[in-house]
Structure 1
Amino acid sequence: MSMHRAKRGPIIAIAVLIGFVLFFYSPWELSSSLIPGQRGEVNELYGLLRLVTGDQPGNDHVLNDPQLDPTETVDWSVYAAGEPDVNWWKEAKRINKVHPIIVFSKTYCPYSKRAKKLLESYDITPPPKVIEVDVRDDGIVIKNLLSRLTGHSTFPNIIVQGKSIGGSDNLAGLHSSKELRNLIEKAGAKARKNGPEETD
Protein backbone atom coordinates (compact mmCIF):
# COMPACT_ATOMS: atom_id res chain seq x y z
CA MET A 1 0.00 0.00 0.00
CA SER A 2 2.72 2.47 0.97
CA MET A 3 4.69 1.33 -2.11
CA HIS A 4 1.77 2.36 -4.35
CA ARG A 5 1.55 5.70 -2.60
CA ALA A 6 5.30 6.21 -3.07
CA LYS A 7 4.95 5.54 -6.82
CA ARG A 8 1.97 7.84 -7.11
CA GLY A 9 3.75 10.76 -5.40
CA PRO A 10 6.02 11.71 -8.33
CA ILE A 11 3.20 11.17 -10.83
CA ILE A 12 0.91 13.54 -8.93
CA ALA A 13 3.72 16.09 -8.60
CA ILE A 14 4.37 15.96 -12.37
CA ALA A 15 0.63 16.25 -13.12
CA VAL A 16 0.35 19.30 -10.85
CA LEU A 17 3.41 20.87 -12.50
CA ILE A 18 1.99 20.27 -16.01
CA GLY A 19 -1.37 21.69 -14.94
CA PHE A 20 0.36 24.78 -13.54
CA VAL A 21 2.34 25.32 -16.75
CA LEU A 22 -0.73 24.85 -18.95
CA PHE A 23 -2.83 27.16 -16.81
CA PHE A 24 -0.36 30.02 -16.73
CA TYR A 25 1.68 29.64 -19.89
CA SER A 26 -0.38 27.75 -22.45
CA PRO A 27 -0.14 29.19 -25.96
CA TRP A 28 -3.90 28.89 -26.42
CA GLU A 29 -4.70 30.75 -23.22
CA LEU A 30 -4.86 34.06 -25.07
CA SER A 31 -7.90 34.07 -27.31
CA SER A 32 -7.44 35.83 -30.60
CA SER A 33 -9.89 38.46 -29.33
CA LEU A 34 -7.86 39.24 -26.20
CA ILE A 35 -4.92 41.57 -25.87
CA PRO A 36 -2.52 41.48 -22.96
CA GLY A 37 -2.66 44.66 -20.92
CA GLN A 38 -0.39 45.88 -18.14
CA ARG A 39 -2.66 44.32 -15.52
CA GLY A 40 -4.48 41.58 -17.37
CA GLU A 41 -6.13 40.66 -20.62
CA VAL A 42 -8.70 42.83 -22.36
CA ASN A 43 -11.42 41.52 -24.65
CA GLU A 44 -11.58 42.95 -28.16
CA LEU A 45 -15.10 44.20 -27.42
CA TYR A 46 -13.49 47.01 -25.41
CA GLY A 47 -11.74 48.16 -28.56
CA LEU A 48 -15.09 48.58 -30.26
CA LEU A 49 -16.63 50.20 -27.17
CA ARG A 50 -13.81 52.74 -26.99
CA LEU A 51 -14.22 53.60 -30.62
CA VAL A 52 -18.01 54.08 -30.56
CA THR A 53 -18.20 55.89 -27.21
CA GLY A 54 -15.36 58.30 -27.99
CA ASP A 55 -16.15 61.91 -28.65
CA GLN A 56 -13.53 62.35 -31.35
CA PRO A 57 -15.10 63.54 -34.62
CA GLY A 58 -14.80 61.06 -37.45
CA ASN A 59 -14.94 57.95 -35.28
CA ASP A 60 -18.00 56.83 -37.22
CA HIS A 61 -15.80 56.44 -40.31
CA VAL A 62 -12.97 54.42 -38.77
CA LEU A 63 -14.41 51.00 -39.52
CA ASN A 64 -15.12 51.72 -43.18
CA ASP A 65 -11.89 50.28 -44.55
CA PRO A 66 -12.97 47.80 -47.27
CA GLN A 67 -10.00 45.61 -46.27
CA LEU A 68 -11.39 45.20 -42.75
CA ASP A 69 -13.06 41.83 -42.17
CA PRO A 70 -15.28 42.05 -39.06
CA THR A 71 -15.64 38.27 -38.92
CA GLU A 72 -11.92 38.05 -38.08
CA THR A 73 -9.96 39.56 -35.21
CA VAL A 74 -9.43 43.26 -35.86
CA ASP A 75 -6.01 44.75 -35.21
CA TRP A 76 -6.03 46.86 -32.05
CA SER A 77 -4.46 49.76 -33.93
CA VAL A 78 -7.78 50.13 -35.79
CA TYR A 79 -9.62 50.59 -32.49
CA ALA A 80 -6.92 53.00 -31.30
CA ALA A 81 -7.87 55.22 -34.29
CA GLY A 82 -4.42 56.71 -34.68
CA GLU A 83 -3.72 57.19 -30.97
CA PRO A 84 -0.39 55.57 -30.11
CA ASP A 85 0.28 53.52 -26.99
CA VAL A 86 -3.27 53.02 -25.72
CA ASN A 87 -3.26 51.23 -22.37
CA TRP A 88 -6.22 48.93 -23.04
CA TRP A 89 -6.52 47.72 -19.46
CA LYS A 90 -6.94 51.31 -18.27
CA GLU A 91 -9.31 52.00 -21.15
CA ALA A 92 -11.50 49.02 -20.24
CA LYS A 93 -11.59 50.20 -16.63
CA ARG A 94 -12.46 53.75 -17.71
CA ILE A 95 -15.25 52.58 -20.02
CA ASN A 96 -16.74 50.42 -17.25
CA LYS A 97 -16.83 53.47 -14.99
CA VAL A 98 -17.94 56.15 -17.46
CA HIS A 99 -20.30 53.97 -19.54
CA PRO A 100 -21.25 50.95 -17.40
CA ILE A 101 -24.28 50.34 -19.65
CA ILE A 102 -24.02 50.68 -23.43
CA VAL A 103 -26.92 50.03 -25.78
CA PHE A 104 -26.34 49.27 -29.44
CA SER A 105 -29.64 50.29 -30.99
CA LYS A 106 -31.36 51.10 -34.27
CA THR A 107 -33.51 54.22 -34.34
CA TYR A 108 -36.43 52.55 -36.15
CA CYS A 109 -36.32 49.20 -34.34
CA PRO A 110 -39.34 48.62 -32.03
CA TYR A 111 -37.32 46.30 -29.78
CA SER A 112 -34.60 48.92 -29.41
CA LYS A 113 -37.24 51.52 -28.56
CA ARG A 114 -38.78 49.24 -25.96
CA ALA A 115 -35.40 48.53 -24.32
CA LYS A 116 -34.42 52.22 -24.24
CA LYS A 117 -37.79 53.17 -22.75
CA LEU A 118 -37.44 50.55 -20.03
CA LEU A 119 -33.93 51.69 -19.15
CA GLU A 120 -35.06 55.34 -19.14
CA SER A 121 -37.76 54.45 -16.59
CA TYR A 122 -35.02 53.52 -14.12
CA ASP A 123 -33.48 57.01 -14.39
CA ILE A 124 -29.97 55.55 -14.39
CA THR A 125 -26.88 57.57 -13.46
CA PRO A 126 -24.68 57.64 -15.45
CA PRO A 127 -27.29 57.19 -18.17
CA PRO A 128 -26.83 54.33 -20.63
CA LYS A 129 -24.72 55.30 -23.62
CA VAL A 130 -26.85 54.66 -26.72
CA ILE A 131 -25.14 53.95 -30.03
CA GLU A 132 -27.60 54.28 -32.91
CA VAL A 133 -25.92 51.91 -35.32
CA ASP A 134 -28.16 52.73 -38.31
CA VAL A 135 -27.08 56.39 -38.40
CA ARG A 136 -23.39 55.48 -38.60
CA ASP A 137 -21.80 54.77 -41.94
CA ASP A 138 -19.97 51.78 -40.43
CA GLY A 139 -23.18 50.25 -39.05
CA ILE A 140 -22.90 46.97 -40.99
CA VAL A 141 -19.35 46.44 -39.76
CA ILE A 142 -20.44 47.13 -36.16
CA LYS A 143 -23.29 44.63 -36.50
CA ASN A 144 -20.89 41.94 -37.71
CA LEU A 145 -18.36 42.76 -35.00
CA LEU A 146 -21.03 42.53 -32.31
CA SER A 147 -22.19 39.18 -33.68
CA ARG A 148 -18.67 37.78 -33.43
CA LEU A 149 -17.70 39.40 -30.12
CA THR A 150 -20.94 38.90 -28.17
CA GLY A 151 -22.74 36.04 -29.91
CA HIS A 152 -25.80 38.32 -30.20
CA SER A 153 -26.62 39.35 -33.76
CA THR A 154 -29.81 41.40 -33.39
CA PHE A 155 -30.67 44.82 -31.98
CA PRO A 156 -30.70 46.06 -29.37
CA ASN A 157 -27.50 44.59 -27.97
CA ILE A 158 -27.11 45.69 -24.36
CA ILE A 159 -23.61 45.71 -22.91
CA VAL A 160 -23.15 45.86 -19.14
CA GLN A 161 -19.58 46.19 -17.88
CA GLY A 162 -18.20 44.91 -21.15
CA LYS A 163 -20.51 41.89 -21.44
CA SER A 164 -23.63 41.47 -23.53
CA ILE A 165 -26.79 40.64 -21.58
CA GLY A 166 -28.72 40.17 -24.84
CA GLY A 167 -31.58 42.19 -26.23
CA SER A 168 -34.97 43.61 -25.37
CA ASP A 169 -36.54 40.34 -24.22
CA ASN A 170 -33.58 39.60 -21.95
CA LEU A 171 -33.85 43.08 -20.45
CA ALA A 172 -37.61 42.72 -19.96
CA GLY A 173 -37.03 39.35 -18.29
CA LEU A 174 -34.58 40.90 -15.83
CA HIS A 175 -37.11 43.65 -15.12
CA SER A 176 -39.95 41.14 -14.55
CA SER A 177 -37.84 39.03 -12.21
CA LYS A 178 -36.83 42.16 -10.23
CA GLU A 179 -33.15 41.57 -11.08
CA LEU A 180 -32.58 44.59 -13.29
CA ARG A 181 -32.04 47.09 -10.47
CA ASN A 182 -29.47 44.78 -8.90
CA LEU A 183 -27.68 44.40 -12.25
CA ILE A 184 -27.61 48.18 -12.73
CA GLU A 185 -26.16 48.74 -9.28
CA LYS A 186 -23.61 45.93 -9.62
CA ALA A 187 -22.45 47.66 -12.79
CA GLY A 188 -21.59 50.73 -10.71
CA ALA A 189 -24.57 52.81 -11.85
CA LYS A 190 -27.43 54.13 -9.74
CA ALA A 191 -31.14 53.76 -10.36
CA ARG A 192 -33.71 56.07 -8.82
CA LYS A 193 -35.56 55.02 -5.69
CA ASN A 194 -38.96 53.40 -6.15
CA GLY A 195 -38.12 52.35 -9.69
CA PRO A 196 -40.69 50.77 -11.99
CA GLU A 197 -40.06 47.27 -10.69
CA GLU A 198 -41.33 48.23 -7.25
CA THR A 199 -44.55 49.74 -8.61
CA ASP A 200 -45.53 47.13 -11.23
Structure 2
Amino acid sequence: MSTLPVTSLLHSLQHQRKPLNHRATSLALIGLIVVSFYIFFVARPSLDLAPIALRTDALGHAGTHGSHPQDKDDPPPSSRLFRLPSNTQRKTVTVTNVNRPQVKLDESQELAAVAAFVAALPQNMIPRSIDPSKPIDPQLVLDFDTRSPRAADEVNRIVQHVWSRYPVMLFTKAHHAHSREIRRMISIMDLQPPPVTIEVDQREDADVLIPLLHRLTSSTDLPLMLIGGKPIGSMATIRELNESDELHKLITNAGAVIDGSKKKKGH
Protein backbone atom coordinates (compact mmCIF):
# COMPACT_ATOMS: atom_id res chain seq x y z
CA MET A 1 0.00 0.00 0.00
CA SER A 2 1.47 3.37 -0.98
CA THR A 3 1.89 6.20 1.59
CA LEU A 4 1.72 8.94 -1.03
CA PRO A 5 -1.99 9.66 -0.66
CA VAL A 6 -1.65 9.95 3.11
CA THR A 7 1.24 12.37 2.79
CA SER A 8 -0.67 14.47 0.31
CA LEU A 9 -3.65 14.57 2.63
CA LEU A 10 -1.54 15.85 5.56
CA HIS A 11 0.00 18.59 3.43
CA SER A 12 -3.46 19.61 2.33
CA LEU A 13 -4.71 19.85 5.92
CA GLN A 14 -1.69 21.97 6.95
CA HIS A 15 -2.34 24.41 4.12
CA GLN A 16 -5.98 24.70 5.16
CA ARG A 17 -5.08 25.23 8.88
CA LYS A 18 -2.92 28.31 8.22
CA PRO A 19 -5.78 30.41 6.80
CA LEU A 20 -8.00 29.28 9.69
CA ASN A 21 -5.37 30.41 12.27
CA HIS A 22 -4.98 33.76 10.55
CA ARG A 23 -8.73 34.19 10.44
CA ALA A 24 -9.16 33.40 14.17
CA THR A 25 -6.38 35.80 15.10
CA SER A 26 -7.93 38.53 12.99
CA LEU A 27 -11.36 37.97 14.52
CA ALA A 28 -9.91 38.09 18.06
CA LEU A 29 -8.03 41.30 17.29
CA ILE A 30 -11.15 42.92 15.82
CA GLY A 31 -13.15 41.84 18.91
CA LEU A 32 -10.56 43.36 21.24
CA ILE A 33 -10.67 46.65 19.35
CA VAL A 34 -14.48 46.74 19.51
CA VAL A 35 -14.51 46.05 23.28
CA SER A 36 -11.85 48.69 23.93
CA PHE A 37 -13.76 51.23 21.85
CA TYR A 38 -16.94 50.49 23.83
CA ILE A 39 -15.22 50.84 27.21
CA PHE A 40 -13.40 54.09 26.49
CA PHE A 41 -15.90 55.90 24.28
CA VAL A 42 -19.33 54.50 25.17
CA ALA A 43 -19.35 53.22 28.75
CA ARG A 44 -17.05 55.91 30.27
CA PRO A 45 -19.48 58.90 29.97
CA SER A 46 -22.16 56.93 31.79
CA LEU A 47 -19.74 56.16 34.60
CA ASP A 48 -18.89 59.84 34.94
CA LEU A 49 -22.51 60.65 35.65
CA ALA A 50 -22.24 59.24 39.16
CA PRO A 51 -18.82 60.12 40.61
CA ILE A 52 -17.97 59.35 44.20
CA ALA A 53 -18.23 62.69 45.98
CA LEU A 54 -15.73 63.42 48.69
CA ARG A 55 -15.82 66.14 51.29
CA THR A 56 -13.20 67.52 53.58
CA ASP A 57 -14.11 68.02 57.19
CA ALA A 58 -12.82 70.74 59.50
CA LEU A 59 -9.75 68.68 60.31
CA GLY A 60 -8.77 68.29 56.68
CA HIS A 61 -9.64 64.57 56.40
CA ALA A 62 -11.53 63.31 53.38
CA GLY A 63 -14.77 61.48 53.98
CA THR A 64 -17.68 60.16 51.96
CA HIS A 65 -20.30 62.60 50.78
CA GLY A 66 -23.25 62.82 53.14
CA SER A 67 -21.34 62.16 56.36
CA HIS A 68 -21.95 64.77 59.01
CA PRO A 69 -19.46 64.55 61.90
CA GLN A 70 -21.26 67.38 63.69
CA ASP A 71 -24.58 65.53 63.73
CA LYS A 72 -23.56 63.60 66.83
CA ASP A 73 -25.15 65.34 69.81
CA ASP A 74 -25.23 68.55 67.71
CA PRO A 75 -22.12 70.16 69.25
CA PRO A 76 -22.40 73.80 70.25
CA PRO A 77 -21.56 76.49 67.73
CA SER A 78 -18.13 77.32 69.12
CA SER A 79 -16.82 73.98 67.87
CA ARG A 80 -17.25 75.16 64.30
CA LEU A 81 -17.11 78.95 64.65
CA PHE A 82 -14.51 81.51 65.66
CA ARG A 83 -12.08 81.44 62.79
CA LEU A 84 -11.54 84.06 60.16
CA PRO A 85 -13.76 83.25 57.18
CA SER A 86 -12.04 82.99 53.82
CA ASN A 87 -12.84 85.34 50.97
CA THR A 88 -14.81 82.53 49.34
CA GLN A 89 -16.92 82.05 52.47
CA ARG A 90 -17.66 85.74 52.66
CA LYS A 91 -18.94 85.70 49.07
CA THR A 92 -21.31 82.78 49.63
CA VAL A 93 -24.07 84.90 51.10
CA THR A 94 -27.49 83.92 49.87
CA VAL A 95 -29.21 86.39 47.60
CA THR A 96 -32.13 86.74 50.00
CA ASN A 97 -29.82 88.02 52.78
CA VAL A 98 -27.71 90.46 50.77
CA ASN A 99 -29.90 93.43 51.58
CA ARG A 100 -30.47 92.53 55.23
CA PRO A 101 -28.51 94.49 57.86
CA GLN A 102 -25.83 92.65 59.82
CA VAL A 103 -26.62 91.52 63.34
CA LYS A 104 -25.57 94.11 65.92
CA LEU A 105 -23.52 93.05 68.92
CA ASP A 106 -23.71 94.77 72.26
CA GLU A 107 -20.49 94.98 74.26
CA SER A 108 -21.08 91.75 76.20
CA GLN A 109 -21.78 89.85 72.98
CA GLU A 110 -18.80 91.42 71.28
CA LEU A 111 -16.58 90.43 74.20
CA ALA A 112 -17.85 86.84 74.04
CA ALA A 113 -17.28 86.63 70.30
CA VAL A 114 -13.77 88.10 70.49
CA ALA A 115 -12.78 85.97 73.50
CA ALA A 116 -13.98 82.77 71.88
CA PHE A 117 -12.36 83.70 68.58
CA VAL A 118 -8.89 84.21 70.03
CA ALA A 119 -9.16 81.20 72.35
CA ALA A 120 -10.33 78.73 69.72
CA LEU A 121 -7.22 78.65 67.50
CA PRO A 122 -3.73 80.15 67.94
CA GLN A 123 -3.80 81.47 64.38
CA ASN A 124 -6.99 83.45 64.92
CA MET A 125 -5.82 87.06 64.83
CA ILE A 126 -7.81 90.28 64.97
CA PRO A 127 -7.02 92.17 61.74
CA ARG A 128 -4.79 95.16 62.33
CA SER A 129 -6.92 97.19 59.97
CA ILE A 130 -9.81 97.50 62.43
CA ASP A 131 -10.32 100.47 64.75
CA PRO A 132 -10.43 99.01 68.30
CA SER A 133 -12.30 102.06 69.57
CA LYS A 134 -15.32 101.13 67.42
CA PRO A 135 -17.55 98.02 67.38
CA ILE A 136 -15.93 95.21 65.47
CA ASP A 137 -17.40 93.89 62.25
CA PRO A 138 -19.27 90.72 63.36
CA GLN A 139 -18.26 88.88 60.20
CA LEU A 140 -14.61 89.06 61.25
CA VAL A 141 -15.13 86.89 64.34
CA LEU A 142 -18.29 84.93 63.55
CA ASP A 143 -18.15 82.17 60.96
CA PHE A 144 -21.75 82.28 59.82
CA ASP A 145 -23.95 84.59 57.76
CA THR A 146 -24.35 87.59 60.05
CA ARG A 147 -27.22 88.82 57.86
CA SER A 148 -29.26 85.68 58.35
CA PRO A 149 -32.66 85.93 60.08
CA ARG A 150 -31.28 83.49 62.67
CA ALA A 151 -28.07 85.44 63.30
CA ALA A 152 -29.30 86.92 66.60
CA ASP A 153 -30.20 83.46 67.93
CA GLU A 154 -26.79 82.14 66.87
CA VAL A 155 -25.08 84.97 68.75
CA ASN A 156 -27.04 84.16 71.92
CA ARG A 157 -26.07 80.51 71.64
CA ILE A 158 -22.43 81.51 71.26
CA VAL A 159 -22.50 83.71 74.35
CA GLN A 160 -24.01 80.94 76.46
CA HIS A 161 -21.60 78.32 75.22
CA VAL A 162 -18.44 80.41 75.43
CA TRP A 163 -18.68 81.14 79.13
CA SER A 164 -19.73 77.59 80.01
CA ARG A 165 -16.76 76.26 78.07
CA TYR A 166 -14.35 78.93 79.35
CA PRO A 167 -15.66 79.92 82.80
CA VAL A 168 -12.28 81.47 83.66
CA MET A 169 -10.21 83.35 81.10
CA LEU A 170 -7.00 85.25 81.71
CA PHE A 171 -5.49 87.86 79.42
CA THR A 172 -1.95 88.34 80.64
CA LYS A 173 1.56 89.42 79.67
CA ALA A 174 4.25 86.77 79.40
CA HIS A 175 6.89 88.55 81.52
CA HIS A 176 4.99 90.61 84.02
CA ALA A 177 4.92 90.35 87.82
CA HIS A 178 1.13 90.72 88.20
CA SER A 179 0.53 88.26 85.38
CA ARG A 180 2.76 85.67 87.03
CA GLU A 181 0.94 86.24 90.31
CA ILE A 182 -2.52 85.73 88.86
CA ARG A 183 -1.47 82.66 86.89
CA ARG A 184 -0.01 81.12 90.06
CA MET A 185 -3.13 82.03 92.04
CA ILE A 186 -5.41 80.28 89.55
CA SER A 187 -3.06 77.33 89.05
CA ILE A 188 -3.27 76.48 92.77
CA MET A 189 -7.05 76.15 92.48
CA ASP A 190 -6.70 73.25 89.99
CA LEU A 191 -9.79 74.25 88.03
CA GLN A 192 -11.89 72.03 85.80
CA PRO A 193 -12.32 72.99 83.07
CA PRO A 194 -8.85 74.51 83.12
CA PRO A 195 -8.59 78.28 82.73
CA VAL A 196 -7.73 79.67 79.31
CA THR A 197 -4.72 81.98 79.40
CA ILE A 198 -3.98 84.32 76.49
CA GLU A 199 -0.56 85.94 76.62
CA VAL A 200 -1.62 89.03 74.73
CA ASP A 201 1.79 90.66 74.35
CA GLN A 202 3.08 87.57 72.50
CA ARG A 203 0.42 87.83 69.80
CA GLU A 204 0.80 89.53 66.42
CA ASP A 205 -2.45 91.42 67.00
CA ALA A 206 -1.47 92.76 70.43
CA ASP A 207 -1.64 96.40 69.32
CA VAL A 208 -5.29 95.90 68.35
CA LEU A 209 -6.42 93.31 70.89
CA ILE A 210 -5.26 95.18 74.01
CA PRO A 211 -7.19 98.42 73.35
CA LEU A 212 -10.15 96.34 72.14
CA LEU A 213 -10.25 94.49 75.48
CA HIS A 214 -9.90 97.76 77.37
CA ARG A 215 -12.93 99.17 75.56
CA LEU A 216 -15.08 96.08 76.13
CA THR A 217 -14.18 95.59 79.81
CA SER A 218 -13.37 99.16 80.97
CA SER A 219 -10.05 97.79 82.22
CA THR A 220 -6.99 99.97 82.04
CA ASP A 221 -4.24 97.37 82.18
CA LEU A 222 -3.36 93.70 82.04
CA PRO A 223 -3.71 91.13 83.52
CA LEU A 224 -7.44 90.86 82.90
CA MET A 225 -9.54 88.12 84.49
CA LEU A 226 -12.94 87.14 83.13
CA ILE A 227 -15.17 84.89 85.24
CA GLY A 228 -18.34 83.85 83.49
CA GLY A 229 -17.66 86.59 80.97
CA LYS A 230 -17.48 89.32 83.61
CA PRO A 231 -14.28 91.30 84.23
CA ILE A 232 -13.25 91.08 87.89
CA GLY A 233 -11.30 94.31 88.16
CA SER A 234 -7.80 95.38 89.05
CA MET A 235 -5.12 93.18 90.53
CA ALA A 236 -5.78 94.71 93.94
CA THR A 237 -9.46 93.74 93.68
CA ILE A 238 -8.56 90.20 92.65
CA ARG A 239 -6.24 89.85 95.67
CA GLU A 240 -8.97 91.01 98.03
CA LEU A 241 -11.50 88.61 96.56
CA ASN A 242 -9.03 85.75 96.80
CA GLU A 243 -8.21 86.46 100.44
CA SER A 244 -11.89 86.58 101.39
CA ASP A 245 -12.74 83.41 99.41
CA GLU A 246 -15.18 85.44 97.32
CA LEU A 247 -13.10 84.66 94.26
CA HIS A 248 -13.70 80.94 94.83
CA LYS A 249 -17.45 81.54 95.00
CA LEU A 250 -17.45 83.54 91.78
CA ILE A 251 -15.50 80.83 89.99
CA THR A 252 -17.77 78.06 91.31
CA ASN A 253 -20.90 79.99 90.34
CA ALA A 254 -19.49 80.37 86.82
CA GLY A 255 -19.38 76.57 86.49
CA ALA A 256 -15.74 75.72 87.19
CA VAL A 257 -14.81 73.10 89.78
CA ILE A 258 -12.05 73.88 92.28
CA ASP A 259 -9.66 70.97 92.96
CA GLY A 260 -11.21 69.40 89.90
CA SER A 261 -8.52 66.74 89.39
CA LYS A 262 -8.81 65.42 92.93
CA LYS A 263 -12.62 65.33 92.83
CA LYS A 264 -12.53 63.61 89.45
CA LYS A 265 -10.25 60.86 90.81
CA GLY A 266 -12.43 60.48 93.90
CA HIS A 267 -15.51 60.15 91.73
Same fold, judged at TM 0.5 (above) = yes
- Give the CA RMSD over aligned residues: 1.9
Partner of 2:136: 74
91, 106, 111: which is aligned to 1:34? Answer: 106
151, 166, 190: which is aligned to 1:123? Answer: 190
SS class of match (2:231): strand
Q: Does 1:65 align with 2:131?
A: no
Unmatched 5+ residue regions in structure 2?
Answer: 1-103, 261-267
Q: Does 1:137 align with 2:204?
A: yes
166, 169, 173: which is aligned to 1:102? Answer: 169
SS class of match (1:183): helix
**Deviation of 1:46 (Å):** 0.9
Partner of 2:90: none
Per-residue CA shift, 1:70-95, capped at 9, x if unaligned?
00111111112x54456111111111
Does structure 1 retain, via aligned residues, the 8 Å contact 2:109–2:155? no
Kindly tell me the number of residue pairs found equivalent between the two proteins.
151
Unmatched 5+ residue regions in structure 1?
Answer: 1-31, 36-41, 194-200
Partner of 2:111: 45
Higher relative contact order (CA 8 A, sep 6+): 1
SS class of match (2:226): strand
**Deviation of 1:33 (Å):** 4.8
How far apart, in 1, do the equivalents of 2:259 and 2:248 lie? 9
SS class of match (2:210): helix
Per-residue CA shift, 1:101-131, capped at 9, x if unaligned?
1000110111011001001111111111000
**Deviation of 1:96 (Å):** 1.1
Larger relative strand fraction: 1
Which shows bigger deviation, 98-107 or 160-169? Answer: 160-169
How far apart, in 2, do the equivalents of 1:51 and 1:70 lie? 15
How far apart, in 1, do the equivalents of 2:145 and 2:109 lie? 19
Per-residue CA shift, 1:134-165, capped at 9, x if unaligned?
11100121111111100002110001111111
SS class of match (1:166): coil
Partner of 2:245: 178
Relative to the length of structure 1, the TM-score reads 0.70
Partner of 1:160: 227
Does structure 1 retain, via aligned residues, the 8 Å contact 2:170–2:223? yes
How far apart, in 2, do the equivalents of 1:44 and 1:92 lie? 9
Larger radius of gyration: 2
SS class of match (2:259): coil
Does structure 2 retain, via aligned residues, the 8 Å contact 1:64–1:137? no
Per-residue CA shift, 1:43-76, capped at 9, x if unaligned?
2111211211112x5303xx2332x100011111
Relative to the length of structure 2, the TM-score reads 0.53
Identity score, percent: 28
